[in-house]
Amino acid sequence: MIRRYAALIRNAWLVDLQYRASIVLWLLWGVTEPAIALGIWWAIAGDGSVGGYARADFARYFFAVMLINQLTIAWDSWYLDRWIREGDLNYRLARPLDPAHEAVAENIAYKARTASVILVVWLLVAAAWPAVRLPFAPGRWAVTLLAVLLAAAMRFFISFTTGLLAFWTTRATAIMELHAGVSLFLAGRIAPLALLPPAVAGVAGVLWFRSMLAFPVDLLTGAVHGTDAIVRGLAAQLFWLGVWIVAYRIAWSRGIRKYGAVGG
Amino acid sequence: MPSIVTAERLSKTFQVKVRDPGLRGALRALFQPRYRDVHAVRDVTFRIDPGEIVAFLGPNGAGKTTTLKMLAGLLYPTSGRVEAAGFNPWTGGPPFKRRIALVLGNRQQLVWDLPPEETFLLNRAIYDVPEGDYRERLAELVALLELADVLQKPVRQLSLGERMKCELVASLLHRPPLLFLDEPTLGLDVTAQEAIRRFLIEYRERHGATVLLTSHYMQDVTALASRVLMINRGRLLYDGALEVLVARIARTKRIELVLGGGDGNRVTPEALASFGEVKSFRFPNAVLEVRREDAPATSARLLAALPVADLSIEDPPIEEVIRLAFARGVEEDE
């Protein structure tokens, strides 16, 4: 299986190299959203603070969002939707490799590429601007890495499963868009959850949205601390990962029987 | 010898949403969707022996491709039983998939932006083909398909024919004993079609693979298939040799004449018409159509009565036979 992953990742990177311009565009997209959010909060915070967040806290928060969002984001619903509706799933089903493995390999290739560039950007900015530097805390970084892996796995299964809805509806990507829109607020992409109205933040915590992004970001910046809070956060991530894996398995086994194998 | 493919009472029914035209229809479909059952394949039964080349014949939407996809494990049958390469395609998993190849004429697995060799390397990893076998097989396939010049070019720069040849290479590197080819010559020019046919014949001779194919080109069928399965509206109309089908359907034969004789005693169309229906006449060539059973006797009379330089008896063109078969049904002549 390692050889297969190596071959899939190699091909993904080879294709990327053909489209250097698109890499830059994706990167800009990944940077722009948190940069705009940071700009707004920067202006609002002024010389004081909002909900305990001063300018430097916002800067660290959104740099962490920038990096961790790129490490955990999954585009699979778009691919799945196309594979299913246009029949590109056909030859994938005839190969002795579950299409999910191909998708995971693509994700690893994509994340390694974009996140490494963003990490370099962060290091360069941090060299000039102390506000975005993180305290040296290897233990915290290790826990963050675990939380990022869990979040990436969960977001992968969310995206893949939503894409599988294309077996039943032509609007699968619209559902994913809706989910992305909701997660803009509930996952902490445009504001730390601590700044949301308590009811909204509560919903984010009860559902999977906090586990997607806000929790690992807060871990990295130090907003979540104390063994208790960390264990509870990781447990929530594990729980929701499990839920989405079950959802994926059900959607896949039912959907594949319903598949119309479009086209020749 | 056990069969390599068995289909027993195989059926596939799709549910298709129906809606009336216009805005009102769209609204009604939104709130009160109606579905119609489309019976793509009905109660189809056949067996295929190892080493056979079998062609599915039928108009668009007849159920050929649906049948093929059920055999390859892409589509879940509504009812009936399938066994292919020793497995139920739905439960066979990777061991089953290593024993088949699926080539789709209008869907490609080649990575569009990379040279075909990158897809071959990917498939080597996916199918766990050992390095030595990979090189040997690639060399053989590249030689048979004359692909040496295109391996390094990005797929998007290849011609349709080159792409299909590369699809075949990608699909055969794991040397599967069972090949499913859906319209493998679709859209190709005559030379490329010819090359693909020659390759398939050669490949089967060398490796004894079983080939199931669908095609709209009768030349594919006549050149490749020892047996045809004729499908129309989801039902299997005929299963057997192509020649037997032709004999059953074509009630006529064509007598092709090259006439002799000088300008003085030229044979007239009227004179020919007394022997059978004149399909074409352009001195010295003429084509007559006669009833199948009359062909030998009429030929003898022609030879005796007219200055004939050459004479041959042919079946009507295969396309015409197939058209007739679908129009009338196969059983009529039995």
Q: Is the model more confident about A1 or about A97?
A: A97
CA–CA separation, A95 vs B122, rounded Å?
11
- Contacts of A39-47 with CB under 8 Å at 24 or more apart are A41/A191
Tens digits of per-residue pLDDT, A71-86? Answer: 999 989 999 999 998 8
Cβ proximity of B278 and B323 under 8 Å: no
- Write down the pLDDT at residue B26: 78
Nearest CB among A6, A90, A257 relative to B104 is that of A90
Looking at the domain assignment, is residue A240 inside a domain?
Answer: yes
pLDDT < 50 regions, chain B: 332-334
**Does residue A67 fall inside a structural domain?**
yes
The first and second tokens of residue A250, run together, are 């059900």
The two structure tokens encoding residue B240: 């057997």
Interface test with A, best of B120, B126, B215 (most A CBs within 10 A): B126
pLDDT at B264: 57
Candidate CATH numbers 2.40.50.140, 3.40.1010.10, 3.40.50.300, 3.40.50.10490; the one for domain B5-246: 3.40.50.300
Q: pLDDT of A187-206, one tens digit each?
A: 999 999 999 999 998 898 89
Q: What is the ipTM of this complex?
A: 0.86
Q: In this structure, are residues B202 and B144 in contact, taking their beta carbons and an 8 Å threshold?
A: yes
Fold for domain B251-314?
Alpha-Beta Plaits (3.30.70)
Question: From the candidates A16, A86, A90, which should be mutated to test the interface with B, based on the most B CB atoms within 10 A?
Answer: A90
Pairing mode of beta strands B235-240, B227-232 = antiparallel
A139 within some domain: yes
CA distance A165 to A99: 15
Q: List, for residues A37-91, the tens digit of each pLDDT value.
A: 999 999 999 888 898 899 999 999 999 999 999 999 998 999 999 999 888 899 9
CA distance A105 to chain B (A): 12
CA trace torsion A55, A59, A65, A71 (10° rounding): -170
Which chain A residues contact residue B121 at CB under 8 A?
A: 7
Q: A244 and A158 in contact (C-beta within 8 Å)?
A: yes
CA dihedral B232, B234, B240, B244 (to 10 degrees): -20
Q: What pLDDT was estimated at residue B29?
A: 74
Q: What would you report as the CA-atom Rg of chain A, rounded to the nearest whole angstrom?
A: 19
φ, ψ dihedrals at B186, nearest 5°:
-55, 125
Long-range contacts of B21-25 (CB under 8 A, 24+ apart): none
Strand partners, B295: none
The two structure tokens encoding residue B52: 């056979």
* pLDDT over 50 at A99, yes or no: yes
Of B75, B107, B183, the CB nearest to A259: B75
Burial class (CB in 10 A: 0-12, 13-18, 19+), A21: exposed
Q: Using an 8 Å Cβ cutoff, are A211 and A151 in contact?
A: yes
* Contact call for residues B40 and B234 (beta carbons, < 8 A): yes
- Does residue A64 lie in a domain region? yes
Which of B65, B78, B112, B113 should we substitute to test contact with A (largest number of A Cβ atoms within 10 Å)?
B113
For an interface test with A, which of B56, B102, B121, B122 has the most A Cβ atoms less than 10 Å from its Cβ?
B122
Determine the distance from the C-alpha atom of residue B320 to the mean position of all C-alpha atoms in its chain, rounded to a whole number: 16
How many domains are contained in chain A?
Answer: 1
Count the helix, strand and coil residues of chain B and give each as a percent rounded to the nearest 5: 40, 30, 30
Reported as half-sphere exposure (CB side, CA atoms, 13 A), residue A158 has a value of: 25
A221 inside domain: yes
Residues from chain B contacting residue A93 (CB–CB below 8 Å): 73-74
Q: In terms of CA atoms, which chain A residue is nearest residue B65?
A: A264
For B265, other C-beta atoms within 10 Å of its C-beta total: 10
| Pairing of β B5-18 and β B79-84 | antiparallel
Cα three-residue angle B129-B130-B134, rounded to 5 degrees: 70
The secondary structure of A193-244 as a DSSP string is GGGS-HHHHHHHHHSSHIIIIIHHHHHHHTSS-SHHHHHHHHHHHHHHHHHH
Give the C-alpha distances (Å, rounded to integers) separating B189 from B65, B196, B222: 22, 11, 17
Residue of A nearest to B179 (CA): A94
CB B214 within 8 A of CB B55: yes
Please indicate whether, in this complex, the C-beta atoms of A94 and B126 are within 8 angstroms of each other: no
**Phi, psi dihedral angles at B103 (to 5 degrees):** -120, 125
Determine, for residues B97 and A94 on separate chains, whether the beta-carbon distance falls below 8 Å: yes
Between these two residues, A247 and A170, which has the higher pLDDT value?
A: A247
* Cβ-contact A201, A44 below 8 angstroms: no
Please give the DSSP secondary-structure letter assigned to residue B177: S
Higher pLDDT, A61 or A16: A61
Pairing of strands B34-48, B210-214: unpaired
Averaged pLDDT for residues A112-118: 86
Which member of A7, A257, A264 has the closest CB to residue B65? Answer: A264
**Pick from A113, A17, A65: nearest CA to A223:** A65
Q: How do residues A236-247 score in pLDDT, each as one tens digit?
A: 999 999 999 999
A264 is a domain residue: no
pLDDT at A109 over 60: yes
Note whether B118 contacts A264, CB cutoff 8 Å: no
- Which contiguous run of DSSP H or E holds residue B197? helix B190-207
The alpha helices in B90-215, defined as continuous H runs, are: 93-97, 116-126, 131-145, 160-172, 190-207
Of B74, B114, B118, the CB nearest to A261: B74
What pLDDT is attached to residue A59? 92
With CA atoms as reference, the chain B residue closest to A88 would be B107
Tokens of B256: 């092709």
Q: Is the pLDDT of residue A178 over 90?
A: yes
Gap between the Cα atoms of A257 and B96, Å rounded: 18
Alpha-carbon gap, residue A185 to A180, rounded angstroms: 9
A208: Cβ contacts below 8 Å, ≥ 6 apart: A154, A158, A240, A243, A244
Q: Under an 8 Å CB criterion, which residues of A touch B? A: 3-4, 6-8, 11, 14-15, 18-19, 87-88, 90-91, 93-97, 256-261, 263-264
Which residues of chain A does B74 touch, with a Cβ-Cβ cutoff of 8 Å? 90, 93-94, 259, 261
- Say if CB B36 and CB B48 are below 8 A apart: no
| Burial status of residue B286 (CB atoms within 10 A of its CB: 0-12, 13-18, 19 or more) | buried
Confidence tier at A151 by pLDDT (50, 70, 90): very high
Q: Which residues of B touch A (CB under 8 A)?
A: 14, 65-66, 69, 72-76, 93-95, 97-98, 100-102, 104-109, 111, 113-114, 118-119, 121-128, 154, 180, 182-183, 186
Does pTM top 0.90 for this prediction?
A: no
Q: Give the gyration radius of chain B's Cα atoms.
A: 25
* A39 inside domain: yes
Which residues constitute the domain of residue A65? 2-258
Q: Which of B104, B155, B180 to mutate to test the interface with A (most CBs of A within 10 A)?
A: B104
Q: Which position has the token pair 């590429």?
A: A113
Domain ranges for chain B: 5-246, 251-314
Nearest to A264 among B111, B114, B183 (CB): B183
Q: For A152-162, how does the pLDDT look when each residue is reduced to its tens digit (9 = 90+)? A: 999 999 999 99
Instruction: Report residue A264's pLDDT band, with 50, 70 and 90 as the boundaries.
Output: very low
Cα of B242 to nearest chain A Cα, Å: 24
